[in-house]
Structure 1
């Protein structure tokens, strides 16, 4: 696959600032190795830390033997909102960090402002958890104003990009995604960061529009996986329809001259995916259906009778990529070993390309790993399971890409196994 070099782009001041910064080692990755693109690539200490925790055996031996390998970018490694384990998500800095860890594909979750401009946010209604909006004059635009915790009632707020213009959006300061439910003031509500994350690298982070993310990712030598987020407002929005929204996403790649083969559009809405397949077949060929069957009461990846549709039916409609969460793809056998689930086997049988999410979003795994590890909780007792699970996903399930909140872990594995 090809992508335009930075010298072929008319770079904005934002991207030029980033490229200048890339000439020096940043706070995350030191002693990096120059590879394709402009981002220096280095694993940092985390892969070795996880390998040390593995039980003796073939997997540990193989990964240990790769500790001296030259890092290189891999499309198997996907930056989930950048590298939000330590950086504010969907910021320039978070994505530069992910690129420095070798993520070959970077993500901008896409939503829109009041003036229908596309911006990178995980949800249209997350500004109160990901920015400082509640402590600014724009707090008055929040559709649910801040209310303090009182007695058994948690603090609450909801602030949407659709209530502010792009110009107003640019005035906000990003922060680590969190909300202190015990807060009695807006300032206190900005705390509550999980104790296994950090605010060390959150100062001075930079928000992005979707178009700016395209420019940045191209300058870093990475490819693109934007997710069209569900609107929190009723659609059409001031005449802006769901199809307009889906089309505008594609149009910004076309305007930037990005080849369709370098873009994996995503949506939880199957109709969006089918729209792209029909209206923009080159981009639709790699459109990813983010499967949310797990939201259906009683649904199980091990029980065909609970499934709303066969996986073959998606392939029959032209869907070539499908992306469930980690736990949907695996289970444990009688020996307590991690193995592919029935759902994974059916996806393979249908010829679907599988991407999964999200590695390293669970924090320490000593107590079962929470939501992302629910199907293998009995086998999840240490951080070593990150690599044990990744190995099953890559070798037995056959996933083609893994989203991670700290892409170095996945990049190291991909480099070691030639993915």
Structure 2
């Protein structure tokens, strides 16, 4: 990922489309579908809308600014081959495998070590579900008890993992049957593409991303079990094993952006795998501790301390980077300004994950909820993140939107 260079004059906007669309190794060109154009049409008349309209005819190309978050999970089951291929076709230059491990310590792509009950069909396969940490139990309206289950990758072997099919992340806590429980999909997502969802190991994702011509951003997920696992598989072993997978596949370090919410993981890579550590991404989870993006006293360690420790990339949620500006548009937060001043590259997450934005946008838009009332505000936020905050890339659940913006702005 490279720092964003603002190219906003009309002549430059038009010149970015002189080249042919980038083809992946599988021969597919970038195709964006209708959503970016739907969002653009809903923008208020003005400079941004006019600039974006100049790019309607394409052609479109891959951009590292556009990062496929778990693939393209707005409509495809996350971390599946189908989701990854969709994201690449929408121009995501970088794709994400969230990395966790099975009972036999094989690395696989799942957002959480213990999410199989909500992201796969494991509960519909009793012979495998029998291994779940918490078997399914139905809701009981009389007592107020909610349905529950907990199935972890570490509960099952790789052989069992391969027998599962990915589905849209969902569950119905009021369910009285397994069949009801595995439903509950939000109305703004779809199950149309959930009939096929091939789960992937880390090694398989590496091969696929190389085939698709995309770079890699694996996230080392927090273990859902006590570490060291079974007494001898330490956190450091886990962090090293993830990097070893890329080395074994012959993927150059400059094509890999390893991520973790655990700063100790990033520090480990910096110390032990410096080529990979140089562009490792610290996912800033300090929002869980009540961080205030306008109060530097709540950022510990400071931006300067992170930079001096060898950290080069920081990735907070969208809302930590913006506030409502005096002009009624999003503006950079104090947090965003401090990160840039310290020399940290910023990655933002996650657009297209909130459903409709007509009522403030929910969690990801909480600091600009008062000016978020239109789905097209996605493009307004992207514009501010690129021009004013200066982010290096944006995670998206539907990369076509981010790709369209990036292509138009020469990113």
| 1:34 Cα deviation from its structure 2 partner | 5.9
Q: Distance in 2 between matches of 1:193 and 1:341?
A: 33
2:90 is matched with which residue? 101
Matches of 2:307 and 2:279, distance apart in 1: 12
- Of 63, 66, 70 in structure 2, the residue corresponding to residue 77 of structure 1 is 66
Once the 2 structures are TM-superposed, how far is the Cα of residue 182 of structure 1 from its aligned partner? Answer: 1.2
Match status 1:289 vs 2:282:
yes
Is the contact between residue 79 and residue 106 of structure 1 (CA under 8 Å) also seen in structure 2? yes
Cα deviation for residue 33 of structure 1 reads 5.5
Contact 2:314 2:345 in 1 (8 A): yes
The answer on whether the counterparts of 2:24 and 2:211 sit within 8 Å (CA) in structure 1 is no
Q: Equivalents in 1 of 2:193, 2:374: separation in Å?
A: 26
Contact kept, 8 Å, 1:336 with 1:378, in 2: the verdict is: no
Match of 2:37 among 43, 48, 51: 48
Give me the whole-angstrom Cα distance separating, in 1, the residues matched to 2:240 and 2:298.
Answer: 33
Query: How far did 1:36 drift?
Result: 4.8
Instruction: Work out the CA distance in 1 between the residues paired with 2:25 and 2:257.
Output: 19
Mapped partners of 1:304, 1:81: distance in 2: 31
Preserved contact between residue 143 and residue 160 of structure 1 (Cα < 8 Å)? yes
TM-score (norm 1): 0.91
Which of 1 and 2 has higher RCO (CA within 8 Å, sep 6+)? Answer: 2
Cα separation, 2, equivalents of 1:58 and 1:358: 25
Structure 2: distance between partners of 1:68 and 1:337:
28
Give 1:132's aligned residue.
121
**What secondary structure sits across from 2:130 in the alignment?**
helix
Whether 1:377 and 2:365 are equivalent positions in the alignment is: no
Match of 2:25 in 1: 37
Return the offset for 1:69: 1.7
Correspondent of 1:397 among 366, 389, 403 = 389
The answer on 1:245 being equivalent to 2:233 is: no
Distance 2:70 2:218 in 1: 10
Q: Could you tell me which residue of structure 2 aligns to residue 337 of structure 1?
A: 329
1:89-139 deviations in Å (ceiling 9; x for gaps): 000000000000000000000000000000000000000000111121111
Give me the whole-angstrom Cα distance separating, in 1, the residues matched to 2:265 and 2:120.
28
Q: Note if contact 2:269-2:277 (Cα within 8 Å) is conserved in structure 1.
A: yes
Is this contact kept in 2: 1:73–1:102, CA < 8 A?
yes
Task: State TM-score, norm by structure 2.
Answer: 0.93
Alignment correspondent of 1:355: 347
What is the SS of the residue equivalent to 2:222?
Answer: coil
Q: Structure 1 unaligned runs (5+)? A: 2-31
Q: Which residue matches 2:211?
A: 219
Query: Distance in 2 between the 1:37 and 1:386 partners?
Result: 31
The question of whether the paired residues in 1 share the 8 Å contact of 2:236 and 2:268 is answered with: yes
Aligned residue number for residue 413 of structure 1: 405
1:112–1:36 Cα change, 3 Å: closer
Q: Does 1:265 align with 2:258?
A: yes
SS at match of 2:67: strand
The question of whether the paired residues in 1 share the 8 Å contact of 2:68 and 2:96 is answered with: yes
Distance 1:40 1:186 in 2: 40
User: What residue is the counterpart of 1:121 in the other structure?
Assistant: 110
Post-superposition CA distance 1:122-160 (Å, at most 9, x none): 000000000111121111111111111112222111100
In the alignment, structure 2 segments of 5+ residues that lack a partner are 2-19
Alpha-carbon distance in 2 for matches of 1:146, 1:181: 11
The size of the alignment, in residue pairs, is 388
Q: CA deviation at 1:328?
A: 0.4
172, 183, 205: which one pairs with 2:197?
205
Q: For residues 196-227 of structure 1, what are the alpha-carbon distances to aligned partners after superposition, in whole Å with 9 as ceiling and x for unaligned?
A: 00011111221100000000000000000000
Q: Bigger shift: 132-141 or 351-360?
A: 132-141
| Matching of residue 142 in structure 1 with residue 132 in structure 2 | yes
CA distance in 1, matches of 2:162, 2:297: 48
Contact 2:138–2:176, Cα closer than 8 Å, also in 1: yes
Q: Distance in 2 between matches of 1:290 and 1:313?
A: 15
- Offset, 1:384: 1.1
Over residues 271-321 of structure 1, what are the superposed CA-to-partner deviations in whole Å (9 max), with x where a residue is unaligned?
A: 000000000000000100000111113x21011222222111100100000
